[in-house]
Structure 1
């Protein structure tokens, strides 16, 4: 079953090298944090889990980039990731990568396109 795209935010909500937008995906009945950021003019989405130890990356909610805005950084382990590929380019997980999610921008919005094995959690009534 192919799931419909989930709108995450307006395209204007993502500044180049700035704060990201968090969202939730489901894997085998468990909700996992994910995020989308803008880098090199495009939106990129990942599971919010360090490739070294599965802990959330952001040091404050939505803050994924290190101070230069050129790399994503794990606040716990100091691992550094390329924002466009998720490849760990420095730190304890060098050579590993973040789990990349399929993101699309259209009609003024940023969308996550769920793909197996990740699904969109059920929306609460009235959402």
Structure 2
């Protein structure tokens, strides 16, 4: 059963700008995640490169390359499509783990799944 979890105000996300970070439980592990806006649509992914499972941002909440068109892993330079999370260049395997998000009435929510749950203190 999926539930909707408030993430941020819509105004917190600017096209190709800073991400809004959040934490999720991915299976049984606590994992960083992020949401960005690209081409006026919100997307969210686990903050985990597919080449080496480490966080991707080069500065806190900075994921876009200098063109503002690709999500970039700071460690090895892998580039991902912001719309799909698929690897488009560099060292990576497959794509980023997508988190379903919705935007309505000035609010962004992420949606749980059997793999992704809100991060609760253990």
Q: Deviations over 1:42-99 (max 9, x none)?
A: 0000000001111101011110101111000000010000100001000011x61001
TM-score, scaled to structure 2 = 0.94
How far apart, in 1, do the equivalents of 2:98 and 2:26 lie? Answer: 14
How far apart, in 2, do the equivalents of 1:106 and 1:123 lie? Answer: 28
Instruction: For structure 1, list consecutive stretches of 5 or more residues without a partner in the other structure.
Output: none
Matched residue pairs, number? 122
Q: What are the within-5 Å matches in structure 2 for residues 89-104 of structure 1?
A: 89-93=88-92, 96-104=94-102
Instruction: For structure 2, list consecutive stretches of 5 or more residues without a partner in the other structure.
Output: none
* 1:18 pairs with 2:27: no
CA RMSD in angstroms comes to 1.5
How far apart, in 2, do the equivalents of 1:28 and 1:98 lie? Answer: 16
TM-score, scaled to structure 1 = 0.90
Query: Does structure 2 retain, via aligned residues, the 8 Å contact 1:3–1:119?
Result: no
